[in-house]
Amino acid sequence: MNQNNSYQLLLPLSYRKAYNRENFFVSQSNEIAVNMVDNYPNWNTPALIIIGPKECGKTHLCHVLKERDKNIKIFENIDENINEEILFHQLNRLNEKVLITTKISPVNLKIKSPDLKSRLNAQNTVTIENPDDNLINAIIIKQFIDRGILPKPHVIKYIAKHSERSFNFLSKLIGEISDKSVQLKRKITISFVKEILTN
């Protein structure tokens, strides 16, 4: 039996990790955040705060905006790492916009400075919700493309139907499927996916 992956679409490196606007899939889950990024710099507050779980596309949107304006200041994952003094001074700069990302709402951030907390709470915030069916399919396809392969449509459909509806779960699952496919020299079939989902 042929154990190579030649049946799959092998993609050139230029397809991988392409953080451009054209390959960001818009759905009901993220359309408000995308619209706000598309509307830059016409925000009515100095900053836009994008709230969403890990792997939901926040970094992708940061890259999209950075391509439009290389000078924009971006503070990613302020729930994990934040320099309160630098962020506060940046928010007070006149005529400069700031993009901020976080996994939790600003009101729940552990911030020592009352002034910074007040400033953050006054900014525009948008939330990327858990993925809907269309976005789940798009995420699976993109995760595989980022790894340079694209299994057959019926395999992607099976993964979408039997996976947890979570950005982070899908990212880890596709990574595991791809890695084990290479390590074991196995085709990515429904039976192969079943083995990984049940382990």
Phi-psi region of 68 (alpha: psi -120 to 50; beta: other; left: phi over 0): alpha
> Phi and psi at residue 42, in whole multiples of 5°?
-85, 60
Q: Which residues contact 190 (CB under 8 A, 6 or more apart)?
A: 154, 155, 158
Q: How far apart are the first and last CA of the chain?
A: 24
If we measure between CA atoms, which residue out of 3, 8, 90, 95 comes closest to residue 49? 90
Domains along the sequence of the chain with CATH:
30-127 (3.40.50.300), 132-198 (1.10.8)
The pLDDT, as a whole number, for residue 17 is: 56
Q: Is the pTM of this model over 0.75?
A: yes
The pLDDT, as a whole number, for residue 195 is: 93
How far is it, in rounded angstroms, from Cα 157 to Cα 169?
A: 16
The pLDDT, as a whole number, for residue 8 is: 54
List per-block mean pLDDT (blocks of 10 residues) for the chain, which spans 199 residues.
43 56 88 96 96 93 95 96 95 93 95 96 95 90 87 95 90 94 92 92
How far is it, in rounded angstroms, from Cα 177 to Cα 188?
A: 7
The pLDDT, as a whole number, for residue 199 is: 81
If we measure between CA atoms, which residue out of 5, 26, 50, 4 comes closest to residue 142? 26
The pLDDT, as a whole number, for residue 150 is: 87
The pLDDT, as a whole number, for residue 94 is: 84
